[in-house]
Amino acid sequence: MWNNSNPDKFKESNGYDINGIWYPRVTSILSIKAKPALYRYYAELDNFATAEKIMEQSADEGTRVHEAVEAMLVGKTPEYGEDIKPSIDAFRNFLDKSSMEVDPEWVERRVVNFNDRYAGTVDAMALIDGKFGVVDIKTSQGIYRDYNLQTAAYYPPLLEEFRTLQTRWILRIDQNQRCYVCGATMRTKGGREKIRAPYPATNVNYKKCTHQWSDTEGIIQLKEFPYWQDDYQAFLGAKRLWEWEHSPLLKRIGYM
């Protein structure tokens, strides 16, 4: 447990030192929330070591997509491997066809909530279809409700900077293959192949299908979440629980 850990290591792993004051990181705070889908993921695999290896490789792939996308948002030409090329090509096509405008100075920008005492890093601020808001980039297989807690946490400090702030988006970037026969999809991430049932459903039993897979295709999904206040109250609840969990160490480092 962190309660018995080195205070300096805890501070480095879980927050930011800003002008001599330490603030916990939004993503560290949200790690306190239960993640049933993650538990199911571990249960599906042979052992813990295998699960951790896949998670580590998946995280590396996601980080590389993030870095390439953020480079493109500030006008740079990124270098990337063939394994994530469909995702990057899909995002490039999305930029060409959408009305998304991004301020390069607000890509990977840190924000601080001095009143509620936490900090985080915003992926991007953008103008999309005439609305100005915060964009959080994800490389998951879906858009999950939990993501709203993270973007809600960014909202109060961003309102201090931008009185014109209107909304928030999750921008999901992913890639998969589709079966020409049954319509099922196969997602390969972290070296693990996962086949999902076709949507909408077809008359072919995808579990018995002799699949004929397409080339890997990139996926872009943009979803807006304009109402942030209830999510923010939920985030503050998670923060209180996180502080309770780590209170002995937080007292030692002078946060509490």
Best CA proximity match to 170, nearest among 154, 190, 151, 191: 151
List the one residue out of 30, 4, 10, 6 whose CA is nearest residue 22: 10
pLDDT tens per residue, range 153-175: 999 999 999 999 999 999 999 99
What pLDDT score was predicted for residue 1? 45
Within the chain, what is the greatest distance between any pair of CA atoms?
63
Domains along the sequence of the chain with CATH: 25-244 (3.90.320)
**Which residues on neighbouring strands pair with residue 40, listed in sequence order?**
none
pLDDT band at 76 (very low <50, low <70, confident <90, very high): very high
Q: How far is CA 166 from the centre of its chain?
A: 21
The whole-number pLDDT of residue 246 equals 95
Distance CA 102, CA 105 (A): 9
Task: Dump strand ranges (E) for 66-202.
Answer: 101-102, 109-113, 118-122, 124-128, 131-138, 167-178, 185-189, 192-196
pLDDT at 177 over 90: yes
Kindly tell me if the per-residue pLDDT of 30 is higher than 60: yes
Please say whether the dihedral angle defined by the alpha carbons of residues 126, 129, 132 and 136, taken in this order, is positive or negative.
negative
pLDDT of residue 147: 95
- pLDDT tens for 196-208 read 999 888 888 999 9
User: Residues 90-120: pLDDT tens digits?
Assistant: 999 999 999 899 999 999 999 999 999 999 9
Using the predicted structure, report yes or no on whether residue 3 has a pLDDT greater than 60: no
Q: How far is CA 208 from CA 45, 217, 233, in A?
A: 21, 23, 46
